[in-house]
Amino acid sequence: MDNNLKQESLIIKFEGGAVKEHAIPVSSFIETLSGLEKLSCKTIEKYYEKKTRVDVKVTSLRPGSFIFDLILSYAEPIRATVENVNLISETIISVINLGKFLMGKKAVEQKACEGDLNQTAITNCNGQVQAFNNSTINIWSDGSVRSALNKTTSSLDKDGFDSIRVQSGTKTSFVNKNERPYFYDNQHEILNENESNIILEITELSLSGSNKKWRFFDGDIEFYAVIEDETFLTDVKNKAYSFTNGTQLDVILRTVQKKNNSRITTERSIIEVKKVIQPN
C-alpha cells in the first residue's frame, strides 16, 4: 500500500485571567495536550477507516501569549471510499463545531442533503438546522473522540480559563466556559486510561477476521480485548498466521477504566499488533 507522509498544523490559543497573569497550571496544559493528541489520532483513524502512524508535536509557545502550534504528521493511506477530502486539521475543527451545535444533546433529526451525498443536515434540540460532512458526523459518533474532546476542553472547568480557540488556516472553532458542558462525557466518567507495550498469550481467537471474540492471558488474569489493528485482522482472515496453543502477541494495549453511575468497568483494546510470537 502506498503511503504519503502528510503534515498539518493547528493553532491553539488559551484566553482568560490565568493567561494574562502568565500563570498557567501545568496540569491544565498537560490535560489539554493529552486530549488534543488523542483527538488527532482518533480523527485520523476514523477518517481513513484504518490505523495509521501519527506523530503529534508541540512547537514552542509564541512570545507574550499562551498560543502554541500543534503539528500533526501522519502517513496517509489510500481511502477505501471516494468522498470529498478535507484536511484533518479542518475536520477536527468541524467536529468541535458539531459538538457546539448539538449543545450536549443528541441530534433530533439527520437527513441527507439533496444534491450532495457527502453532507447531512442535522437538526439540534433548538430546531436549528446545519449541514455537516458525513466524515465529521461519523467521527463525532465515536465515544473515544468525545472523550478526547472532554479532556481537550477540561481546562475551562478551572478558574482563570475563559476560552480555547482552535484554528487551521481560515477555519476556526471557539469554545468558551459556558459551552464547556457540551463536551462533558456524561455517559461514562473516565477514571484511568493508559497504553502499554505488553506480551499477551492468546486463549481464544477469531479466524474470520472479526475484531471481537479474542481472549488473552497476561500472566495474571484472562480478559477479552477488541483488536483495532485492521492490517493484522486482514492477515488473520487471509491465513497469514498459524495459531497453536501458546501463541503470543506483542501488542500496544489500551486500557480504559470507566465509572457508569456507581459501577466501574474496564475496557481493553489492542491498537497495534507488533509481532506474532510462536511457542518454542
Which strands, in side-by-side order, build the sheet including 263-277?
Answer: 222-224, 215-217, 189-204, 248-260, 263-277, 226-227
Q: Does residue 1 have a pLDDT over 60?
A: no
Q: Return d(Cα 192, Cα 255) in angstroms, integer.
A: 8
- What tens digit of pLDDT does each residue of 5-57 get? 788 888 888 888 877 776 677 777 788 888 888 888 888 888 777 666 778 88
The amino acid that residue 119 corresponds to is: Q
128 three-state secondary structure: coil
Q: What is the pLDDT of residue 164?
A: 92
With beta carbons less than 8 A apart as the criterion, state whether 17 and 162 touch.
yes
- Taking the model in full, what pTM does it have? 0.68
- What tens digit of pLDDT does each residue of 244-260 get? 999 999 999 989 887 77
- What tens digit of pLDDT does each residue of 76-96 get? 765 544 444 568 899 999 999
